[in-house]
């Protein structure tokens, strides 16, 4: 089994200090107002978190995946909404890995330095995990493409400065007909007509996007070649499942710590409820499940860093971590009893936030499908 090295431990500690100092005191206020200040993004940029997967020549950290999941866990422990930064980095990674030289030189410094916030436009009303069946169209018209379609559940589309938009350039080719376009905010024909009201993670905005005769220069076709977008999406989603699994671990860890500390100080029948075997067993199971998910996600990240096949393990970590977080946060509410149902104790928010982890980047059911497909291969 691998061990975390000194650099990884330093990055983890830096992420924890940032989350506890710059975010923790304000989480309730931000969640109540459904608002995450842009200053949080700028402070992340000062620490390099806006350029995690970008090469150093463009201002990035060029982080390994294990370091990224360590950051994700620390962010999830304090506020799941901080996970928006990994969507920003997903777009940055796509441009870093697949963009033309001109695209890398222009966009990467802006994204890595935090001058621009990126959003990822894939999901549609009729196509989420089934990315090959998106219906947004991109039609070549001289030196530009005309995009028409609708996207839904797009994180922070209303405040993003640039979006990556997946569209079909060859509608009859299935997965082989997908392309990705870089679309700046303010492009005529691009609109965000709706911000959804969500169950949890409220300071991250979940938006609808409409593309209506949206003209995008051909130079903003990612990689400069049509119909190469599907493998790009799959690589991005694999990385997203790693960080979402780790965000789930963080949410569960935060809820567990509150439940454990409450059990130590809450008295019933003359003794702390932590002395009751029923509570002890709940806490023991919570701690065990968190640790199991933590190392499954880290192992998947380590495999990716080593150049080994990691897709199935990323799905395992995401599925197990998300379902574990839902169970642990629900149990944390139960340990606190009536107080668990009150917003002042935060665990009810964590339970609502945990539900998101079972849905985004592919539901728990989709992850099972991916895992089953891999283990049943000839």
List Cβ<8 Å contacts ≥24 apart for 110-114.
111/50, 111/51, 111/54, 111/162, 112/50, 112/51, 112/54, 112/58, 112/59, 112/60, 113/45, 113/50, 113/51, 113/59, 114/41, 114/42, 114/44, 114/45, 114/46, 114/50
Distance CA 284, CA 253 (A): 13
Q: Is 57 a catalytic residue?
A: no
Residue 214: strand pairing partners: 147
Q: Provide the token pair at 207.
A: 């938006």
Residue 159 DSSP SS3: coil
Distance CA 26, CA 81 (A): 12
Q: Provide the token pair at 102.
A: 């001109």
Q: How many Cβ atoms sit within 10 Å of the Cβ of residue 90?
A: 24
Q: Provide the token pair at 187.
A: 């492009």
- The residues, any chain, with a CB within 8 Å of residue 107's CB and separated by 6 or more, are 95, 99, 116, 162, 182
For 133-165, b/e burial (b = at least 16 CB within 10 A) is ebebebeeeeebbbbbbebbbbbbbbbbebbbb
* H helix or E strand, kind and range, residue 210: strand 206-217
- Catalytic residue among 73, 124, 238, 361, which? 361
Residue 200 DSSP SS3: coil
Q: Provide the token pair at 52.
A: 């995690």
Distance CA 238, CA 61 (A): 20
Q: How many Cβ atoms sit within 10 Å of the Cβ of residue 352?
A: 17
Q: How far is CA 358 from the centre of its chain?
A: 12
Distance CA 313, CA 300 (A): 5
Distance CA 226, CA 203 (A): 36
Distance CA 223, CA 211 (A): 21
Just list the catalytic residues: 361
């Amino acid at each position: 089994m691998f061990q975390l090295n000194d650099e990884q431990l330093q990055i983890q500690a830096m992420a924890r200090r940032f989350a506890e100092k710059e975010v923790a005191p304000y989480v309730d206020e931000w969640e109540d107002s459904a608002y995450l200040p842009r200053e949080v993004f700028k402070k992340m940029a000062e620490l390099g978190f806006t350029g995690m997967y970008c090469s150093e020549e463009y201002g990035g950290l060029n982080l390994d995946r294990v370091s990224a999941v360590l950051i994700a866990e620390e962010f999830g422990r304090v506020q799941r909404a901080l996970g928006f930064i990994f969507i920003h980095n997903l777009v940055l990674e796509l441009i870093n890995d697949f963009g033309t030289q001109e695209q890398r030189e222009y966009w990467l410094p802006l994204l890595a330095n935090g001058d621009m916030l990126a959003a990822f436009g894939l999901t549609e009303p009729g196509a989420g995990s089934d990315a090959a069946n998106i219906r947004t169209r991109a039609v070549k018209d001289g030196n530009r493409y005309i995009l028409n379609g609708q996207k839904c559940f797009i994180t922070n589309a209303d405040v993003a400065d640039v979006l990556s938009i997946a569209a079909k350039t060859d509608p009859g080719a299935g997965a082989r007909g997908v392309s990705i376009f870089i679309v700046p905010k303010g492009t005529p024909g691009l609109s965000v007509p709706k911000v959804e009201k969500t169950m949890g993670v409220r300071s991250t905005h979940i938006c609808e996007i409409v593309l209506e005769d949206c003209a995008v220069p051909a130079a903003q076709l990612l990689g400069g070649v049509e119909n190469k977008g599907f493998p790009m999406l799959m690589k991005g989603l694999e990385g997203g499942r790693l960080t979402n699994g780790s965000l789930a671990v963080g949410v569960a860890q935060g809820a567990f710590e509150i439940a454990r500390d409450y059990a130590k100080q809450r008295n019933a029948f003359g003794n702390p409820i932590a002395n009751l075997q029923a509570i002890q067993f709940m806490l023991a199971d919570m701690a065990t499940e968190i640790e199991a998910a933590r190392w499954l996600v880290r192992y998947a990240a380590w495999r990716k860093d080593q150049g080994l096949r990691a897709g199935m393990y990323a799905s395992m970590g995401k599925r197990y971590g998300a379902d574990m977080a839902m169970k642990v946060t629900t149990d944390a509410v139960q340990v606190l009893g009536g107080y668990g149902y009150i917003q002042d104790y935060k665990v009810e928010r964590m339970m609502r936030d945990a539900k998101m982890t079972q849905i985004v980047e592919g539901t728990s059911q989709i992850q099972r499908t991916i895992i089953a497909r891999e283990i049943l291969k000839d």
